[in-house]
Amino acid sequence: MESKISISNLNFFYGKAQALYDINLEIPEREVVAFIGPSGCGKSTFLRTLNRMNDTIPIAKVDGTVLIDGEDIYSSKTDVVALRRKVGMVFQKSNPFPKSIFENVAYGIRINKMQTSKSDLNDRVEKALVNAALWDEVKDRLSSSAFGLSGGQQQRLCIARALAVEPEVILMDEPASALDPIATQKIEELVVELKKDYTIVIVTHNMQQAGRVSDRTAFFMLGKLIEYNPTQKMFTNPDERLTEDYITGRFG
Amino acid sequence: MLSALMTGLTSACAVFAIAILVLILTYIAVRGFSAINLEFLIDTPKPVGEGGGIGNAILGSVLMTVLATGIGLPIGIGGGVYLAEMGSNWFGSIVRFLADTLIGVPSIIVGIFIYTLIVLPMGRQSGLAGALSLAIIMIPIVARTTEEMIKLVPKSMREGALALGAPEWRVTWNIVMPAAASGIATGAMLAIARISGETAPLLFTALNSRFYNYFYDQPMASLTVQIYNYATGPFDVEHQMAWAATLILVGLILAINVAVRYLARRRY
């Protein structure tokens, strides 16, 4: 299979405490990979190693290699800004900026100087909002505050904001965990739709969600990758006993 | 029962706190209002019995407050940003401790410091020396409130911007600072209100002046020092003018409050 992201022998430490142990994982292009596992198992930490968000934590230390399109993102030559533009991220709690709806989406475009003109900027913002399935709901109030949107709309705005900088990979850290079932369904439909153009890695606590949206699933426990298989197989006939116990709800 | 008692007790304290403020304001208004007229507002002090006003004192206060704010606000905000964003090292702790100490230093000591540093070498008191002592009082207040306000901005907002490929300085400048703006403005406002009410550090830095003075290298009148002079004078008509000047000072501080609140209102 064609790997977009290739992780080998990844170990991760918060100071002296080791959070991830010898992770090896291949993430194929234009697929959805779900990370599941009990709280504190390291799946969010692992997700954040893929766009170097852990750089903001002074005591964090990464060991091993993460290749994206064959390039080591932890090499000293890596431009972190360019990396994060290529690998977008959507967070657990929607985090719109204290700006208008339009400016929220335009922010990434502006800081990366992607727009060629004012109308090009408008087009890009519109396209991102359309792709995030939010355009119809906000097109008449683009200049009003992003905080006036509902929780689900705010989360789709954050997705639009991530899409606007034209990433190739999108990391989602429990994007629907704070949303009601209707809003969750919208996000899930969106993930399946976005798969056509993007490689998506999604952390979720919701087993059914992993089953519905993902092509492959990785199960983590206590910082170790227990099993990584096509979702279909994972949910019907897992290789590991631990996986089965977790999926069927015997613990976790 | 206990709950009702505590509610009653805290309500009583709240009413008491507000009542004092209302009482002071009403008393100032009642005593001061009768002496206010246009002449009083634009005239300079004159010998007792010939009228006179506080025009030069208002100008002096405004000039010194403006210069002090112009110096103190950028330094204070810049220092606060440093403390919040990069100040988790030993240097930050020292700066933080010294700022807290400086906030607690009596303002007259700041006046003595400026007197030694600026007034003695210059050979005379000046508006500049007055403004500098006010700026010194302002800086630590602004720095500490700015730091606290920036720390209140959720980490998630910062991460959201970083994840879009924004460099750290842009995150601070266009995400964190606007999010903290209204809090920072409140801190700035409190600091401005505080310095416009200061008398002690001006007594021997800016001294006073009986004339309109537009130059920072000359002694400058100020409302607070003028109030002090009028209030300690022997004649009733002077006391009257002290009340009126007090009313003007309170009015000016109120105007600054309203203006800054308006400028820093939450737009989003």
Residue B198 lies in a domain: yes
CB of A79 less than 8 A from some CB of B: no
Substitution target from A95, A101, A114, A125 for chain B, most B beta carbons within 10 A:
A95
Higher pLDDT, B97 or A2: B97
**CA gap B114, B109 in Å, rounded:** 9
Cα A52 to the chain's mean position, in Å?
13
Q: Report the candidate in A42, A41, A62 with the shortest Cα–Cα distance to residue A52.
A: A62
CB of B179 less than 8 A from some CB of A: yes
For residue B174, list chain A residues with Cβ-Cβ distance below 8 A.
Answer: 107
For residue A128, list chain B residues with Cβ-Cβ distance below 8 A.
Answer: none
CATH architecture classification, A3-247: 3-Layer(aba) Sandwich (3.40)
**CA gap A190, A185 in Å, rounded:** 8
**What's the confidence (pLDDT) of residue B50?**
82
**What's the confidence (pLDDT) of residue A105?**
96
**CB within 8 Å of chain A, chain B residues 62-101:** none
Higher pLDDT, B18 or A40: B18
> Under a CB-based contact definition with an 8 Å cutoff, are residues A22 and A224 in contact?
yes
> Among all residues of chain A, which has the CA nearest to that of B179?
A98
Q: Is A11 left (phi over 0), alpha (psi -120 to 50) or beta?
A: beta
**What's the confidence (pLDDT) of residue A1?**
57
**CA gap A3, A26 in Å, rounded:** 6
CB contact under 8 A, A97 and B165: no
**CA gap A166, A209 in Å, rounded:** 25
Half-sphere exposure of A181 (CA within 13 A, CB side): 1
CB of B268 less than 8 A from some CB of A: yes
Helix or strand or coil: residue B111? helix
Residue B160 lies in a domain: yes
Please check the confidence at residue B268 and state whether its pLDDT lies above 70.
Answer: no
CB contact under 8 A, A99 and B178: yes
> Under a CB-based contact definition with an 8 Å cutoff, are residues A206 and A252 in contact?
no
The residue behind tokens 């019907």 is A236
For residue A83, list chain B residues with Cβ-Cβ distance below 8 A.
Answer: 165
Which residues in chain A belong to E strands, given as ranges? 3-14, 17-28, 32-36, 60-68, 71-72, 87-90, 169-173, 199-203, 216-221, 224-230
Substitution target from B164, B170, B184, B267 for chain A, most A beta carbons within 10 A:
B164
Q: What distances in angstroms separate CA B62 from CA B58, B68, B213, B214, one per listed residue? A: 6, 10, 12, 11
Which tens digits make up the pLDDT trace of A218-232? 999 999 999 999 999
Which tens digits make up the pLDDT trace of A95-112? 999 999 999 999 999 999
CB contact under 8 A, A162 and B175: no
Cα A153 to the chain's mean position, in Å?
17
CB of B152 less than 8 A from some CB of A: no
Which tens digits make up the pLDDT trace of A138-192? 999 999 999 999 999 999 999 999 999 999 999 999 998 888 888 899 899 999 9
Min Cα separation A24/chain B (Å):
24
The per-residue DSSP string of A147-209 comes to: GGS-HHHHHHHHHHHHHHT--SEEEEESTTTTS-HHHHHHHHHHHHHHTTT-EEEEE-S-HHH
Min Cα separation A247/chain B (Å):
30
Which residues are A171's β-sheet partners?
Answer: A89, A201
Residue B266's pLDDT band (cuts 50, 70, 90): low
Mean residue pLDDT across chain A: 92
Report the domain count for chain B: 1
CB contact under 8 A, A107 and B165: no
For residue B162, list chain A residues with Cβ-Cβ distance below 8 A.
Answer: 53, 56, 84
Question: Which residues constitute the domain of residue B183?
Answer: 36-267
Q: Where are the domains of chain A?
A: 3-247
CB contact under 8 A, B164 and A161: yes
Mean pLDDT of B94-112: 94
CB of B178 less than 8 A from some CB of A: yes
Residue B79 lies in a domain: yes
Residue B2 lies in a domain: no
Return the structure tokens found at B186: 């409140």
> Among all residues of chain A, which has the CA nearest to that of B85?
A56
Mean pLDDT of B2-9: 93
The residue behind tokens 């992201």 is A5
Phi/psi for A230 (5° steps) reads -55, 140
Gyration radius from chain A CA atoms: 18
Min Cα separation B79/chain A (Å):
21
Which tens digits make up the pLDDT trace of B107-135? 999 999 999 999 999 999 999 999 999 99
Residue B148 lies in a domain: yes
Q: Report the candidate in B251, B227, B199, B241 with the shortest Cα–Cα distance to residue B31.
A: B241
CB of A112 less than 8 A from some CB of B: yes
**CA gap B216, A219 in Å, rounded:** 71
For residue A101, list chain B residues with Cβ-Cβ distance below 8 A.
Answer: none
**What's the confidence (pLDDT) of residue A47?**
95
- The ipTM estimated for the assembled molecules is 0.87
CB contact under 8 A, A91 and B179: no
- CA dihedral of B189, B193, B196, B202, whole degrees rounded to 10: -100
CATH number, domain with residue B50: 1.10.3720.10
Helix or strand or coil: residue B147? helix
* Cβ pairs A/B, distance under 8 A: 71
Residue B8 lies in a domain: no
**What's the confidence (pLDDT) of residue A252?**
59
Which residues are A61's β-sheet partners?
Answer: A13
**What's the confidence (pLDDT) of residue B267?**
60
Burial (CB count <10 Å: 0-12, 13-18, 19+), residue A185: middle
**CA gap A86, A50 in Å, rounded:** 11
Which tens digits make up the pLDDT trace of B22-42? 999 999 999 988 888 888 888
> Under a CB-based contact definition with an 8 Å cutoff, are residues A9 and A22 in contact?
yes
Helix (H) or strand (E) holding A95: none
CB contact under 8 A, A91 and B159: yes
Please check the confidence at residue B49 and state whether its pLDDT lies above 90.
Answer: no
Contacts of A232 (CB under 8 A, 6+ apart): none
> Under a CB-based contact definition with an 8 Å cutoff, are residues B59 and B252 in contact?
no
Which tens digits make up the pLDDT trace of A4-54? 999 999 999 999 999 999 999 999 999 999 999 998 889 999 999 999 999
For residue B175, list chain A residues with Cβ-Cβ distance below 8 A.
Answer: 97-98
> Among all residues of chain A, which has the CA nearest to that of B154?
A95
CB contact under 8 A, A81 and B174: no
